[in-house]
Amino acid sequence: MFELRKAKDRGVANLGWLNSRHTFSFGHYHDPRQQGFSDLLVINDDRVQPDKGFGTHPHADMEIFSYVLEGALEHKDSMGTGSIINPGDVQMMSAGTGIRHSEFNPSKTDLVRFLQIWIVPNQKQVAPRYQQVHIDEALKRGRLCLIISPDGKEGSLSVYQDVKVFAGLFNESESYELEIGLNRYAYAHVARGGLDINGIRLDEGDGVRIREERLLRFAEGKNAEVLVFNLRPNELPS
């Protein structure tokens, strides 16, 4: 069963320096029908103007990862971590007992666009940690590459939750099948371009809640970049 979430129906935040689209309720945008899905709580498509960004602010007991689509994002945190996140990089921050961080566009001329995604953890008050990995385009081309998992297998980043996240690039004749498994949910978000999932068309910014499906087939891509979440069968974050 597929439940589409069209890009045009997302929440909007336009602060001048930040233009964001919220798949689920976030900040001043609240929709009681869009409170996340299973342990997936936030998908924000953020565009940050040059030399602007999110000032230092706190988080606790949340798994937060960033997926950069264009430009570069500078991360600094209270653990002393400092890094630049570029397209192809995946950054994961486990806030645990508490962490303060900032995310900034270091460019004087170029926009940065990235997905900010929150996952509800299955363990609280863990020691904060930071992870970052670069995923070569070849590993995502015409297939789904595991980028986040509970056990960090296949070079993926570790997350404190029973969730797996995949990233893929699809164009023209490229196709791929992903086994979701029995009694699992999935969520797919098209970051760029468009493609078919089990014959259903999704375009840039569209998402879909998926229930009662064991196999997903990705095809008919048009410069598509997609993230897929394999989730516990819960209706709302717990």
pLDDT tens figures, 79-137 = 988 899 999 999 999 999 999 999 999 999 999 999 999 999 999 999 999 999 999 99
How far CA 4 is from CA of 8, 28, 97, in Å, comes to 11, 23, 35
Contact 60, 49 (CB under 8 A): no
Task: For residues 48-68, give the mean pLDDT.
Answer: 95
Q: What is the DSSP letter of 191?
A: E
The pLDDT assigned to 155 comes to 93
Place of tokens 């630049």: 84
Q: Is the CATH number 2.60.120.1360 carried by domain 2-231? A: no
**Amino acid at site 2:** F
Domain chopping of the chain, boundaries = 2-231
Residue with token string 């486990």: 94
CB neighbours of residue 177 within 10 Å: 12
**Which candidate, 42, 56, 47, 58, places its Cα nearest to that of 15?**
47
Report in angstroms the alpha-carbon separations of 20 from 13, 29, 44. Answer: 5, 11, 6
Mean pLDDT of 38-65: 96
The confidence score (pLDDT) of residue 237 equals 63
Summarize the confidence of residues 33-56 as an average pLDDT. Answer: 96
pTM to 2 decimal places: 0.96
Is a pLDDT exceeding 80 seen at residue 238?
Answer: no
**pLDDT given at position 87:** 96
- Residue type at 157? L
Cα→Cα distances 89→105, 166, 191, 209, Å: 15, 13, 15, 25
| pLDDT at 70 exceeding the cut of 80 | yes
Whole-number percent of the chain with pLDDT over 90: 95
Q: What distance separates the 2 farthest-apart alpha carbons in the chain?
A: 49
